[in-house]
Structure 1
Amino acid sequence: MNYQNISLQVENKVAKLSINRPKKLNALNRATLQEIHEALTDLKADESVKIIVLTGTGEKAFVAGADIAEFANYSEKEGEDLAAKGQELVFDYIANFPKPVIAAVNGFALGGGLELAMAAHFRIASKNAKLGLPETSLGVIPGYGGTQRLPQLVGKGRAMEMIMTAKMISAEEALQYGLVNHVCELEELDEKVNAVVQKILGNSLQAIEAAIKAINDGYIDGVNGFESEIKAFGEAFGTEDFTEGTTAFLNKQKANFK
């Protein structure tokens, strides 16, 4: 498929999905969100793809935010629809994606950009990254899950401060906060991401899919994450991956998961 606002590369079981609007610092608009959803839907069905890496084109920005020019004149109803559709098509879709999704944060990750990174299962940032939710400086609040995911990652107090002050934090501060997992030089970002990807690929992706769901269930009101874990743990005993993994361990061999 030919995309206008993203680029997609698939190699060695890994899909690299890049927001490709460098002149706009990869800002998100409705068309970009739709393309992200369409690409992820295809990648979900593609059994040859095991891991997705989200990033931005160029060295300046992962995603510098939403495209403000697109919604500056929206009504209340249009604004609510913008948030609802965006969360459904992209942000919640990524958070609950059955395959690992890693955000490679290269440069600015602001507003919707940070929300996109937070929707990923975890984040690796370059040292030039700047992260923040500046929406209150525009008279609005984060609308793509920022008020929910940021406190989960950094704690309520830090989330309150970041949103109230609209300040940007550095990659090192984000690492200290627990907002990103690793920080490296910009030119080493691909190498660092690939090193983590290779570790993941050595494990049972069937088990990882179950773990993603169990972890996410623990953050859903009315859902008992412990019960989800117990059920998924039991189901794992009936899989070929369990047989392969335990047999390889007992024979002191490396597992070859299918």
Structure 2
Amino acid sequence: TGKELIAQTVHYQSPRSKGPFVAVNCAALPENLLEMELFGAEKGAFTGATERRIGRFERAKGGTIFLDEIGEMPLNLQAKLLRVLQEKTFERLGSSEPIKADVRIIAATNRELLKEVKKGNFREDLYWRLNVVSVKLPALRERREDVPRLVHYYLKRFNKKYGKSVTLSKTALTNLVSYRWPGNIRELANTIERMVIMADTDFIEDADIPENMMSEELPEPSADHGGEDLGNEVKNLERDRIIKALRENNYVQTRAARALGITPRQLGYRIRKYGIMVV
């Protein structure tokens, strides 16, 4: 929905704008790596730690740290984050020396955190510590008036990146505005980049819009499988379910895996197996 863009805007229009802006996706790393990424590690803190590693909190000194997908953070790391908020200090892994945390924290999530609190998946004390100023960002489909501006922004960005001067027809833009964007701004950005890369001319027409965007829903299974054997039919059904789960969870694989009742590793294997493109 543009959470990181909003976080960057808050940062660059604040007294901390001259400091660094550091973003961390809490859903993208396993628990042991996430702790090291956030707080750093001393040399010898664990096997393979051959040098001191500076964490994101330390790198963000004087600026802002953006914790995306905070709802995916494991409970034991939530306790450590709570201590940072309360004490304004943290320690690197393998050290007991406190380091002052001079950062603004902006956190974002796709989850309903109060519901997660009731389920025992998120600490209530951390929720109230973080929830000082709350901003709700509607899904892109709920603010279609933003689509033309975002399309032109990304066209300019990717034209510059690839040395092109691609423009968009009015009908193509109308189709982009009418699309529901289940993947929100990430999907829009990837779509524009793909169209710029693949454009044979400097003008994008309706025919250049990716075929999957003409219908958001997966095709209904056909009653007649044309002699397709049971094995292939099962594979197709599994692939369709994976795509649907990814779309419904904004392409966050940990959440899609949970919805499917499998592990993220198993989901990753199936994504590669079926050649599914994840935006």
Interval containing the TM-score (normalised by the shorter chain): under 0.3
TM-score between both structures, scaled by the size of structure 2: 0.22
More strand by share: 1
TM-score between both structures, scaled by the size of structure 1: 0.23
Give the greater-gyration-radius structure (CA).
2
